[in-house]
Chain A
Amino acid sequence: DQQVKQNSPSLSVQEGRISILNCDYTNSMFDYFLWYKKYPAEGPTFLISISSIKDKNEDGRFTVFLNKSAKHLSLHIVPSQPGDSAVYFCAASARTGNQFYFGTGTSLTVIP
């Protein structure tokens, strides 16, 4: 049973515009959420995180929003750049656990 879901397998955005990647989760015990970025033939690299005590976390062009009541989070990239083209994974964990649960990923293409 997929506890973290990314329902959009792909997304295309023009350079300079906003990219919005979405993620939904089902387990109410999750209290820490991360976004990872993955280029081909490389492992995922950490991008940004948010804990459940916050509803927004910002780091440069990247902002993550958390809506706990809807069990939904999103990653905003503004402005999008061609180098942002990659697969983005949402992941979640619980204080009581040791592992991250990953979504299936969204492939972002930023068109120059």
Chain B
Amino acid sequence: GAGVSQTPSNKVTEKGKYVELRCDPISGHTALYWYRQSLGQGPEFLIYFQGTGAADDSGLPNDRFFAVRPEGSVSTLKIQRTERGDSAVYLCASSRQGSAYNEQFFGPGTRLTVL
């Protein structure tokens, strides 16, 4: 399909481990966003890429979280030394441009469980 895809759909890991979550945005979309959705909450902004660069990473909770988008398309969210509180659904979204007025198209999310 032509939508945003995310892999894996589910990830179970142990406390202290390292995980990588992948996002394939819609082709041609220059803006890419990562959100985290905890149980009973709405999506919470983590980071925004315009092209290859992180234009706004103000939502990353701490330095254990890092994201890259080396070629301006696929992005990887990396979490080091995972903690149980990192358990959530991680959503990726893309849009044609990086304006807050542009509709964001969301992927199905990766459900991360840290045991």
Instruction: Please give the residue numbers on chain A whose beta carbons come within 8 Å of chain B beta carbons, in ascending order.
Output: 4, 6, 9, 32, 34, 36, 41-46, 49, 51, 89, 91, 93-95, 97-105
> Is the Cβ of A43 less than 8 Å from the Cβ of B91?
yes
Which one of B43, B56, B101 has the greatest number of beta carbons of chain A within 10 Å?
B43
Closest 8 CB pairs of A and B: A43-B106, A102-B42, A93-B100, A99-B45, A98-B48, A102-B43, A98-B56, A46-B103
> Is the Cβ of A99 less than 8 Å from the Cβ of B33?
yes
22 contacts between A and B (CB under 8 A): A41-B108, A43-B91, A43-B107, A43-B109, A44-B91, A45-B106, A51-B101, A89-B42, A91-B42, A94-B100, A95-B100, A97-B100, A98-B98, A99-B33, A99-B45, A99-B100, A100-B43, A100-B45, A100-B104, A102-B42, A102-B43, A104-B40
Interface string of B36-48 (1 = CB under 8 A from A): 0000111111001
Known contacts A43-B4, A101-B45; 20 additional CB pairs below 8 A are A32-B101, A34-B103, A36-B106, A43-B107, A43-B108, A44-B43, A46-B103, A46-B104, A49-B103, A51-B101, A91-B42, A93-B101, A95-B101, A97-B100, A98-B56, A98-B100, A99-B45, A99-B59, A100-B100, A104-B41
Q: Which residues of A contact B4 (CB under 8 A)?
A: 43
Q: Which residues of B contact A99 (CB under 8 A)?
A: 33, 45, 48, 56, 59, 100
- Asked if B55 is at the interface of the complex by the 8 Å CB criterion, the answer is yes
Closest Cβ neighbor of A103 among chain B residues: B42
Q: Which residues of A contact B66 (CB under 8 A)?
A: none
A-B contacts at CB below 8 angstroms, number: 62
> With the chains together, A78 CA to B78 CA distance in Å?
43
- Asked if B65 is at the interface of the complex by the 8 Å CB criterion, the answer is no
> With the chains together, A100 CA to B42 CA distance in Å?
11
Instruction: Please give the residue numbers on chain B whose beta carbons come within 8 Å of chain A beta carbons, in ascending order.
Output: 4, 33, 35, 40-45, 48, 55-56, 59, 91, 93, 98-101, 103-109
> With the chains together, A4 CA to B44 CA distance in Å?
11
Which one of A6, A94, A101 has the greatest number of beta carbons of chain B within 10 Å?
A101
